[in-house]
Structure 1
Amino acid sequence: MMDSRYNGDRYNGSPAKQQERRDLVFKFLVIGDYGVGKTSIVRRYTEGKFSSNYKLTVGADFCVRSLMWDAKTRVSLQLWDIAGHERFSYMTRVYYKYAIGCAVVFDVTRYSSFNSVNRWVTDLNDKVILDDGRPIPTVLFANKSDIGDSCVSDEAINKLCKELGILCWFKTSAKSDTNIEEGLSRLVQEAINLTKSDEHSPLEKADSLVLTEQPLEKEKCC
């Protein structure tokens, strides 16, 4: 998979080949309790760097990363970093609109954040669904795995994923850049699979998927 995070658009084929290229725009959510590392994950993925001094997210923030998925598919990802404080929960319906994938994050050193995964997934499924009524593709990030042993067993995580219909989970670390790329790439693949299904044609059905023929801008954070 080719990446334009640092070098812009690397695809320089002929005009005929460029006309055959699909330009896809996907909106992904990053949700979970406050302090679990959502902002660090988003910034690691879009900017390639880590900081432990990010300010509290108020409401929501988003960053964009553009990449070449293959020779004929260019993807622009909008990663929406949703505030984890409960006082912002009434706003989530607006922020969830048009999402086509989600990463739920918990902190492996805080069992309470793992306990909250059920609440976050339930809220997500209540507010955004695919056109046929199915939940949007979701992965789980067991974050801050660089710190030490997890307070949650792999068996407990596997069980929760099965119960909630989560596709898969990853031990992640924004600090050491562990499995962030892999986890979000899984969501990209799931979203692309939806665009290949007639039932979820982005032009006819799923308003959470947007196709554009316009050139995509380089990634930016807002």
Structure 2
Amino acid sequence: MSDSSVTVCRHKLYKVLVIGDLGVGKSSVIFRYVNKCFDEKYKMSIGVDFALKTIEWDAQTVVRLHLWDIAGHERFKQMSRAFYKGAMGALVVFDIANRSTLIGASEWKQDLDKKLSLDNGQPIPVVLLANKCDMSEKDEELLASLDNFCKENRFVGWFETSAKKGINIDEAGAFLVKQMMLCDTGPSNEMLPWDRITARQAPEESQIRPWCC
């Protein structure tokens, strides 16, 4: 007789964009988030890289994030509609020591909102990362402005982060996942027995594949 009490797990798969100006640390943020480490020699993206992050969200839910690391070259803003398609959330990264990259973050967010929305017409949830917070003295004036900046540009929130030190990377990721799940009114991508899913099931989790255009 089969066991009718087997726990069924919801399996969610979300495409997440990681965007921002050149050199703000997008690839390092992803590498820290997926691999739990930092590589001083990590190469700058020249196209689009991919990574997979698997999370046991709760006892009944496994979330897989397909992270798209889009190069910060200006030309990718003109090509990004195809890259954005199907994304459920995004991280926009800027360099806390370089104010011009905050302007760039606003431009990336505006571009994203023009080209992508949820089924109900609302913007997808986007979190702002004030990255490299370990690199210099904090600009308190800039930090104090970020609440209004996020409100004006329709970010759902922001975090000071450091890919090098691992500061707030997991917290920002968890916050974005929560926001995406609140917006997700569709069925689970897949229904699987709980005993078939573990955090180690996806050997590709720590792999990053480049796609250069």
- Give the TM-score, by structure 1 length: 0.83
Question: 1:212 Cα deviation (Å)?
Answer: 2.4
**Partner SS for 1:113:** helix
Structure 2 residue corresponding to 1:120, chosen from 89, 92, 108: 108
RMSD: 1.8
Amino acid at match of 2:89: G
For the residues of structure 1 that align with 2:172 and 2:106, how far apart are their CA atoms? Answer: 19
**One of 29, 33, 37 as aligned partner of 1:49:** 37
**Deviation sequence 1:2-47 (CA, Å, 0-9, x none):** xxxxxxxxxxxx88434x2101101111110010000000000001
- 2 CA distance for matches of 1:164 and 1:84? 19
Which one of the candidate residues 93, 99, 104 is aligned to 2:92? 104
Higher strand share: 2
Alpha-carbon deviations, 1:115-151, whole Å to 9, x = none? 1111010001011100010000011000000012244
Give runs of aligned pairs for residues 1-222 of structure 1, distance below 5 A. 16-18=5-7, 20-151=8-139, 153-195=142-184, 200-201=185-186, 203=187, 211-213=189-191, 217-218=202-203, 219=205, 220-222=207-209
% identical aligned pairs: 40
Cα deviation, residue 73, structure 1: 0.2
| Residues 143 and 171, structure 1, Cα contact 8 Å, conserved in 2 | yes
Greater Cα offset, 55-64 or 39-48: 55-64
Of structures 1 and 2, the one with the larger relative CO (CA 8 A, separation 6+) is 2
Q: Any conservation in 1 of the 2:77–2:108 contact (CA below 8 Å)?
A: no
Contact 2:77 2:111 survives alignment (8 Å)? no
In structure 1, distance between residues paired with 2:117 and 2:6? 34
Deviation of 1:91 (Å): 2.0
**Which letter does structure 1 place at the counterpart of 2:117?**
I
- Asked whether the 8 Å contact 2:130–2:159 carries over to 1, the reply is yes
Shift of residue 57, structure 1, vs aligned partner? 1.0
How far off its partner does 1:59 sit?
A: 2.1
**Distance in 1 between the 2:76 and 2:115 partners?**
15
Deviates more, 1:21-30 or 1:212-221: 212-221
Do the aligned partners of 1:59 and 1:91 also contact (CA within 8 Å) in 2? Answer: no
SS of residue paired to 1:110: coil
Which residue is equivalent to 1:9?
Answer: none
- In structure 1, stretches of 5+ residues that fail to align are 1-13, 204-209
The alpha-carbon deviation at position 88 of structure 1 amounts to: 2.3
What are the Cα deviations for residues 145-168 of structure 1, in whole angstroms up to 9, with x where unaligned?
A: 001224452222111101011111
Deviations 1:32-74 (A, max 9, x none): 0010000000000001110122222122111001111000000
